[in-house]
A and B are shown apart, each in its own frame.
Chain A
Amino acid sequence: MPFTHILGQDMAISTLTRALTSGRVHHAYRFEGPPGVGKEMTATALAQALVCVGDDPLGCGACSACQRAAGRSPGRPASPLHPDVAIVARNFYPAATIGRKTDESSEISVDQVRTIVLQHASYPAHEGRARVFLVRDADELSTGAANALLKTLEEPRQGTYFVLLTSRPDALLNTIRSRTMPVRFGPLPEAVVRDALEAAEIPAERQELALEMAGGSVSAALELCDEEATEAREAFVRRVFEAVDARDLGMAVTLAESLEKDKDRLKADLRALGAALARRARGEVDEAPASAEVLARRYEAVGRAVVRLERNASPQLAMVSLVADLREAGRYCVP
């Protein structure tokens, strides 16, 4: 059974299996949860169960339909091999396939929704069981794309199902949210992430830090274990500490100017900074509570900087202002 491969998401799985066994599967689900906790795996398992030609309502995982629903074509687009399972995701299809001239750089375009979803939505499933659309990172749907989807999402024809995956449910339009049924995915327990890292043959010494920072996400943990990225992050943390300890903000400005434009990368670096501060605070809380308090205040400042970046602040300004905040936090420390 496809659902048995998914670990640590018992609540979500039981919601779905209950719906499948009672035959009352909602036509549009919204899987919410941090990235890398099994949302897409679960959505694929749901698709398998829906198109399976065997007798098991939860999908047998062995029939040709089940295997093709989980299999992916080699090359681009890596579409499912089953004709009734389709993936909608930013830049998933070559521009020509969805009738565009350029690739989708920042959002899922209305062209993709039209060619991949709407054109097919008025026909019954090809192999007769069900048709499933998986929308990966549904918060990346452009406003036009989301609006184009509304009517179909509200009342798809019999046997058509949508699964919207998102790690930022509040970034979805209200009209999309109200048409979909939420299924929540929590962070994975540490043991599950550790098993995944074990399976990927990550050396034990790098596992600890990754587990701490990954926040229950397998994909984040695997990324954190990458040697080169780890070093780059450690160098960033070192430079921030140097800038905080410097005599003036000169170093902070130099640091900010050397940053790349990539905001996601900066956010990841800032999370590493936060984790480093938290680690230090934990180490010092017994012997030097005052210093731990400074570290805690600095940790909060890092959190604020991440929020500013999410609200589209300039990375350079956010960085300089963060260093200023970090210095400020140290100033009131009671010696």
Chain B
Amino acid sequence: MDLEIPKKDLLRLVSRCQGVADKKSAMPALANVLLAADGSTLRVSATDLYLGVTGQVNAQVKTPGSVAVPARDLLERIKAMPDGPLHVTTSEGAQTTIKAVGSPRRYTLPGIPGAEFPQLPMPTPDAPRLELPVDLLALLIARTHFSISTDETRAHVNSALFEWSGDRVRMVSTDGHRLSKMEATVAGSAATATMLIPLKAIHELRRLADEARAEKDAPVVTITQSGPSAFFTIAGTQFSVKLVDAQFPPYQQVIPAMTERSIRAPRSALADALKAISLAASDRTGGVKISVTSGSLRITSESPDTGNAFDELTIDYDGPELTIGFNAKYFLDVLNGIDDEEIIFGISGELDPAVLKAGNESSERSYVAVIMPMRI
């Protein structure tokens, strides 16, 4: 391999890939990034076998070829190079030399031949493609990512369900104690897709979406599902995710069709009060009691170890009193995930799940969170 490429292009690609390359992997080859030069482009990829990132950029390729070099080492060396074009060459035994054009500074890195790097999944050319505004993808993730189970041995809930049917897209996640579902309409688009995206990939997608939004005004993400993987292409970077091959729990059964009482409450005041009371809640359970009475919502916490706490909010409610125990953290995650001024809080009995909805429900965007009660 022999090519010339501006430092800033190479730096951008390698630093994006470096996050995915896994230094502590059980397979030492995965600590590398793969540089593959072909035609007039350089492709830079990294993978941990579950996530893969591939970026490409134009470069002056004199001799095509591929090599894998340690990601961290390469990144540090590129950073230390003077601005301007870099000359990258590989010699026998995958030794890779990076030299700054017009400067004597030069590094040589031991690498491995590109053929020894695991193959990256590629979408088949006829795989269906979907297009989604990045903003919408970011919104879907922001409202559901917190309720994904962190239990890695239960892959079917250690992931978010992404569904596309007709012009509706939907993301659902649950950890057995709570569930969140975000749905939105994509104007002028119709497709069918169902995929379970693992938690690790959700985090990475979130980061990628944030970066893309910072760079461009209204970017679009292209989603391709092919074989066991899904491919997300944002602003020239292809991000491949190995999907979970399992059955997501039948979530529709969990969401109560209706609740006996429905209460409107100011979102930020409620979040503030819950946060304050949860300070006094036991560390292990985080349980607080929420009771609604005519005109007010009381939040209390009692614990022999950590003492008591009490707060009260004025709400628009008229009906019998009801007290339910909840984990305050579950509420706070939901309240912090939405930005409406008011929320709608639906409850039935003290052992029935609570339903939280955003105040400005519309047919275009709808959000539901279900939180199971706890006995306190």
Contact = CB atoms under 8 A, between A and B. Distances in A.
Interface in B14-32: 24-29
Interface string A91-104: 00110111000000
B27 A124 contact: no
Nearest to A151: B153
B322 interface: no
Contacts of B244: 122-123
B118 interface: yes
Contacts of B228: 123-124, 128
A97 B29 contact: no
B210 interface: no
Interface in B30-54: 49-50
A79 B118 contact: no
Interface in B149-192: 152-153, 155
Contact of B245 (A81, A94, A116, A157): A157
Contacts of A73: 27-29
B49 A83 contact: yes
B116 interface: yes
A116 B50 contact: no
Contact of A97 (B26, B115, B116, B119): B26
Given A83-B49, A127-B118, A128-B227, A122 B155 contact: yes
Given A64-B115, A68-B116, A124-B242, A115 B49 contact: no
A323 interface: no
B26 A81 contact: no
B351 interface: no
Contacts of A157: 245
A82 B116 CA distance: 8
A155 B49 CA distance: 23
B114 to A, nearest CB: 11
A119 B246 CA distance: 14
Nearest to A87: B26
Contacts of B24: 94, 96-97
A68 B118 CA distance: 9
A118 interface: yes
A71 interface: yes
Interface residues of A, number: 30
B25 A97 contact: yes
Interface residues of B, number: 22
A71 B27 CA distance: 12
A79 B27 contact: yes
Given A68-B116, A127-B118, A83 B27 contact: yes
A116 B155 CA distance: 15
Interface string B105-146: 000000000011011010000000000000000000000000
Contacts of B153: 114, 118-119
A49 B25 CA distance: 25
B99 to A, nearest CB: 26
A86 B26 contact: yes
Contacts of A119: 152-153
A64 to B, nearest CB: 6
A73 B353 CA distance: 52
Contacts of B242: 123-124, 126
Contact of B49 (A75, A81, A96, A126): A126
A289 interface: no
A250 interface: no
Contacts of B26: 77, 79, 86, 93, 97-98, 115-116
B27 to A, nearest CB: 5
Contacts of B27: 73, 79, 81, 83
Q: Which 8 A-B pairs have the closest CB atoms?
A: A122-B155, A83-B118, A124-B228, A73-B28, A79-B27, A126-B49, A97-B24, A81-B116
Interface of A: 64, 68, 71, 73-75, 77, 79, 81-83, 86, 93-94, 96-98, 114-116, 118-120, 122-124, 126-128, 157
7 contacts: A64-B115, A75-B28, A81-B27, A83-B27, A97-B24, A123-B50, A128-B228
Given A73-B28, A81-B116, A120-B49, 4 more contacts: A75-B28, A98-B26, A118-B152, A157-B245
